[in-house]
Structure 1
Amino acid sequence: MPERSGQGGASRSTRGTAGRGSRGATERRGAERARRRPSNRPPRDRGPRDHAALEARAARRRTVLRRGIAGVVTAGVVAGLVWLLGFSSVFDVTDVEIAGTSPETLPAVRDATRVAPDTSLLWLDTSALDARVQTIPRVATVDVRRSLPHTVTVTVTEREPVAAVPMGTGVALVDATGFAYRTMPAPPTGIPRLVLGPGLAPSPSDPTTVAAVRVLAALPADLRSKVLELRAASPYDVSFTLDGGRTVRWGADADDARKAAVLGPLLGRPGSTYDVSTPDLPVVS
């Protein structure tokens, strides 16, 4: 009997231990399932730092997005401008307007300002056009401008004759700089003859030519219109003949304004030769 009782106690003890182990395993599985199931509890309130971090991340995303959009738009605008300015016909030259030329000079200026087809006004080399027009002898100055969207405006100032230098069977017209730009059979009305010293040719680089045209420029307009002929043997020996046959000895190209001021009243005196080469001591003979 005692032996059976001991066996029964051992059996109960074993069953109790097994029961506790089974319950523990069950509890662990239940806890694991509970951890895996979504919680129905409301989310934990985020603090100010969490909200600030979220706002910062959102701001960075917005900045990246804006920069990306701006980059795409900028690239599109640049590509459009490159095409518009460099490859489209929007600004092609279609008209060249010329002003300031005489009928005799106009054809030469028109030829010099021809523009190749499909030339953009924006890329037009106005300096090259200017240089071509300047090669025309009768042109003193030229101004080439762009007029959007299609027009080139060319304004020309032609040379004006101040004297006519005998050359061969005709004369060469000389402007106020001493440049000989045109030959004619005879001087135009109102243009005096200019006789230079032996071996001299009219040129802006010739001191004698320059002296002669400077003397003419120093005279009042009413007196200048009475000059029939100038003689310039050198820059220091200039004289001219007025209508009526009177002669003026000017001397050197110096003190021109003073000499012109003295000559006016001096011509009121009777005489045939008026010497103002020394303006403080003029002589009438």
Structure 2
Amino acid sequence: MAGPTAAERGDLQQESSGPPRSRRFGRPRPRTIVILSLAVLLLNAGALWMLYGSQWTHVKRVSVSGTRVLTPQEVRAVARVRLGSPLISVDTDAVAARLRGELSRIESVDVERSWPDEIELKVVERTPVMVEEKGGKFVEVDRHGVRFATVSQAPKGVPVLELSLSRSSSAAASLRRFDEKRLVREAVTVAARIPAAVARETRAVKVRTYDDISLELNDGRTVAWGSSEHSPLKARALTALMKAAPEARHFDVRVPTAPASSGS
């Protein structure tokens, strides 16, 4: 007996597969739409209440880390984060800007929310690499050449910056091109490149012009450094020169490929 034809098989498959997809997945009923909308509204309202209304997410603590000279109390006073306010409402950018603007000792600060109830202030203080003596006190200068604080005593192991700017015609032309701020940055760059053993003995970094920077050591020895250009080469040349001529009093590394020493 012959089986069903291809057309008959197709009819059977269509019947067994049920109604078309468009019939099974029609538009949601109005009641379903209303229930879903209410659920979304309730979730949003709950989230807003949790962020703004619940005491669980209000600021209870302001922690400070990274301070060395500043105290946590000083930092909190300037941050002015109000305890009891919603954590989500704290303007962290404004707090950071206020700290950097009012506390010059701060180089950078991260203000972070720590859920559910804490603001964290992570401070990086400026480190003096040189000081300038003014009126019996000392102005600290950081690695960027920024003068950021005045102290009554110079930090131990930090050299004094002496700006003895030359008044010659050539020096005046140099000063017009490289102003005092630029010269301070040049001195900072040199100070950062001094070999560690020499840096511990450096009493002063003297600046006359852009390319006339010198060092004075605690025992009176001097180093003619020149400009900050090729400072790594100059540092290596100075180390080698001091080993080769330990009794010398004057060292010249302005041309690092031809260093020189004199005096004894």
**Residue 58 of structure 2 aligns to a residue in which SS?**
coil
TM-score, normalised via structure 2 length: 0.78
Q: Give how far 1:177 is off.
A: 1.3
1:168 aligns with 2:135: yes
**Residue 183 of structure 1 aligns to a residue in which SS?**
strand
Residue identity over aligned pairs, in percent, reads: 30
Q: Which of 146, 171, 192 is the equivalent residue of 1:179? A: 146
For the pair shown, which has the larger CA radius of gyration, 1 or 2?
A: 1
1:233 aligns with 2:208: yes
Q: Give how far 1:60 is off.
A: 5.2
Q: Letter of the aligned partner of 2:43 in structure 1?
A: V
**Residue 73 of structure 1 aligns to a residue in which SS?**
helix
Q: Which of 228, 236, 248 is the equivalent residue of 1:261? A: 236
Q: Give how far 1:114 is off.
A: 2.3
2:165–2:207 contact (8 Å) kept in structure 1? no
Q: For 1:93-242, what aligned pairs fall within 5 Å after superposition?
A: 93-102=59-68, 104-135=70-101, 136-198=103-165, 206-242=181-217
- Count of residues paired in the alignment: 231
Distance of 1:166 and 1:259 partners within structure 2 = 27
Distance of 1:61 and 1:104 partners within structure 2 = 65
Task: Quote the RMSD (CA, aligned, Å).
Answer: 2.7
Q: Letter of the aligned partner of 1:186 in structure 2?
A: Q
Return the structure number with greater relative CO, CA threshold 8 A, min gap 6.
2
Structure 1 runs of 4+ with >6 Å offset: none
Q: Which of 225, 233, 241 is the equivalent residue of 1:250? A: 225
Q: Give how far 1:232 is off.
A: 0.7
Query: Per the alignment, do residues 243 and 117 of structure 1 end up closer, same or farther by CA in structure 2, a change over 3 Å counting?
Result: closer
Distance of 1:96 and 1:160 partners within structure 2 = 24
Q: In structure 2, list runs of 5 or more residues that go unmatched.
A: 1-14, 167-174
TM-score, normalised via structure 1 length: 0.73
Q: Letter of the aligned partner of 1:90 in structure 2?
A: W
Q: Corresponding residue for 2:32?
A: 66
Q: Corresponding residue for 2:48?
A: 82
**Residue 217 of structure 1 aligns to a residue in which SS?**
helix
